[in-house]
Amino acid sequence: MSEILIRFFIGGAVVSAFVNVSDLLKPKSFAGLFGAAPSVALATLGLTAAREGASYAATEARSMMVRSTSNAPAARANVQAASSCPYEFVDDPSTQ
- DSSP secondary structure string, 54-68? HHHHHHHHHHHHHHH
C-alpha to C-alpha distance for 16 and 37, rounded to whole angstroms? 12
C-alpha to C-alpha distance for 40 and 49, rounded to whole angstroms? 14
pLDDT of residue 91: 66
* Each residue's pLDDT tens digit, 38-66: 777 877 888 889 889 999 999 999 988 88
pLDDT of residue 89: 62
- 86: part of which helix (H) or strand (E)? none
C-alpha to C-alpha distance for 72 and 5, rounded to whole angstroms? 32
Residue type for position 34: F
